[in-house]
Amino acid sequence: MASFAGVPATVPSSRTLFLAVFPSVMLPMFLAAIDQTIVATALPAIAAELGQVERVSWVVVSYLMAATIAAPVYGRLGDLLGRRRLLSVAIVLFVAASVLCAMAPTMPLLVAARVLQGLGGGGLMTLSQALVGEAVPPRERGRFQGYLASVFVCSSTFGPVAGGWLTQHFGWTSVFLVNLPLGLVALLLALRLPRHPPAGGLRGRLRFDFLGLGLFAGFIAPALLALEQARRLDPATLPMAAVLGAVAVASLLLLLRQERRVRMPLLPVKLLAQPAIWRTDAMAACVGAQLVSLITFLPIYLQVARGAGPGQVGVLLLPLTMLIAVGSMFTGSMIARTGRGAIFPSIGLPVVAVLITVLALLAPDMGMHQLPFLFAGIAMFTGSAMPVVQTTVQFVAGPRQLGAAAASVQFSRSIGAAVGTALVGAVLFATLAATDPAAASLFGAIVETGPRALAGLPAERVAVVQAEIAHAFRAAFLVIASFAAIGGVLAWTIPARRIG
């Protein structure tokens, strides 16, 4: 039997592969995924102790920017130097930066430490995905990607609970210090991975694309900052968002020019230009936009428009957050059995679009006990896309560019999530502003501080605002449904229909 991405000719059994590979890549991915939610829960405590409340959002934004910028760097260097080695470097950097975060006495120093932590976190995600492609045959990768998708979803669900509990009992520094023992275990597990010679076949001195990295940072940082400005739903921030957007576009154009002419590009434009890869990455961006927008705005809808309490919201959203993992593992298992990939999101994402459209049109007439069944259907069919993305991109890219392929997916998901949530927020704000400007301003306060922004208002005014917000959410849900619909169209057009 031919080898795939360094896999020996005699391919081990699925059980042997699982025990050898999954624990070693699962924990690094868990660390990176849970960090984005566990820290968010501690932000009020961080602001209360360090002050500078107006800068507390930078604790999240700085990590996201650094991780997004670092992802293609790890992908490229992993292809050239070896992925196991770089995964160990990323874990050490992530853990050391976590300790610095816990020790930070001021907000600026905490933000700086979060940048370092993001530089490590970007490698945890990208290299974990690429190492699956390195150690597992193409046909089996779907099963493993389903497992990893379940880890990502479960960690995102567990993160807020763990963050709240740690902050309440041990203080906000504990959400960073908990990474120390977990990181040490992750490092030991990473060292268990088999050694594979770099598939890139380095010859001579390594020439890294530093100019490309600078231009990529010049694109990512302004783009994410522009989206952060737009997400505040404040017209006063729009000029700054426009300037940042213009800088991002200019940097992107220069980046594309640079990457086409350099010998060893940071972003392999020729690879990303292949229809199977760019369409799969675009589908990943749509799924990221759809999923993150739902998880971000559904709690606001349930609390403000439907009057649910925080505990009830958590119970109502459990099917959405948990059954994605079930759908992902089922799809991964079907890929391993049949060798088919794109057909699953080709069917699943249109169903998701229909279900979210039903949510948009009929949610006001549905009882609270009916909504979880609708959320369960959305989650199961959303899971049909998650294992397919990495499996397809890695299969098309081949063993020499597994890291670049994994990084492109991670980048696409991050940008899709950021753009999607900003766009949905803008639609909500614009719909409210068209009918009641005061309600639009109030909604901006709700997004920032939660439903307590309604406290102190007369009951009649609260009822009017709730009705207007419920109406605006119809438009928002239709936008989210369009993300799933576009993803479904892209899934049907992916040329690579079989894997392995």
- Is residue 4 a part of any domain in this protein? no
d(C-alpha 153, C-alpha 92), whole Å: 24
Question: How much of the chain exceeds pLDDT 70, in percent?
Answer: 88
Claim to verify: residue 283 and residue 137 sit in the same structural domain: no
Claim to verify: residue 281 and residue 247 sit in the same structural domain: no
Note the pTM of the prediction, 2 decimals: 0.80
* Banded model confidence at residue 6, pLDDT cuts 50, 70, 90: very low
* Banded model confidence at residue 492, pLDDT cuts 50, 70, 90: very high
Q: Which of 153, 168, 194 is the last residue of a domain?
A: 194
Claim to verify: residue 221 and residue 240 sit in the same structural domain: yes
Higher pLDDT pick, 443 / 171? 171
- Is residue 205 a part of any domain in this protein? no
Per-residue pLDDT tens over the stretch 219-250: 888 888 887 776 665 667 777 878 888 898 89
The angle formed by the CA atoms of residues 49, 51 and 57, to the nearest 5 degrees, is 105
Residue 109 in tokens: 């120093």
Name residue, tokens 């300037």. 243
d(C-alpha 200, C-alpha 264), whole Å: 11
Per-residue pLDDT tens over the stretch 344-386: 999 999 999 999 999 999 888 888 888 999 999 999 999 898 8
d(C-alpha 401, C-alpha 347), whole Å: 29
- Is residue 7 a part of any domain in this protein? no
Name residue, tokens 């704000």. 429
- Is residue 277 a part of any domain in this protein? yes
pLDDT for 15 equals 66
Structural domain that includes position 250: 210-263
Per-residue pLDDT tens over the stretch 378-425: 999 998 988 888 888 888 887 777 777 878 888 888 888 888 888 888
Per-residue pLDDT tens over the stretch 297-336: 888 888 878 877 766 777 888 888 788 888 888 888 888 8
What CATH number has the domain bearing residue 354?
Answer: 1.20.1250.20
pLDDT of residue 104 exceeding 70: yes
Claim to verify: residue 383 and residue 320 sit in the same structural domain: yes
Lowest mean pLDDT among 185-189, 347-351, 476-480, 481-485: 185-189
pLDDT of residue 4 exceeding 70: no
| Torsion over CA: 26, 480, 334, 136 (sign) | negative
- Is residue 200 a part of any domain in this protein? no
Name residue, tokens 């977990």. 182
Claim to verify: residue 248 and residue 162 sit in the same structural domain: no
**Number of structural domains, the chain?**
3
d(C-alpha 460, C-alpha 224), whole Å: 39
- Is residue 202 a part of any domain in this protein? no
d(C-alpha 295, C-alpha 314), whole Å: 11
Claim to verify: residue 244 and residue 351 sit in the same structural domain: no
Claim to verify: residue 389 and residue 462 sit in the same structural domain: yes
Claim to verify: residue 189 and residue 324 sit in the same structural domain: no
pLDDT for 5 equals 41
pLDDT for 309 equals 72
- Is residue 317 a part of any domain in this protein? yes
Per-residue pLDDT tens over the stretch 27-54: 888 888 888 778 877 877 888 788 766 6
pLDDT of residue 55 exceeding 80: no
- Is residue 339 a part of any domain in this protein? yes
Higher pLDDT pick, 236 / 183? 183
pLDDT for 491 equals 93
Claim to verify: residue 137 and residue 237 sit in the same structural domain: no
pLDDT for 197 equals 63
Q: Which of 241, 263, 285 is the last residue of a domain?
A: 263
Lowest mean pLDDT among 173-182, 292-301, 445-454, 475-484: 445-454
Claim to verify: residue 342 and residue 471 sit in the same structural domain: yes
Claim to verify: residue 278 and residue 259 sit in the same structural domain: no
Claim to verify: residue 399 and residue 291 sit in the same structural domain: yes
pLDDT for 3 equals 40
Higher pLDDT pick, 274 / 311? 274
Residue 336 in tokens: 């391993």
Q: Which of 194, 218, 240 is the last residue of a domain?
A: 194
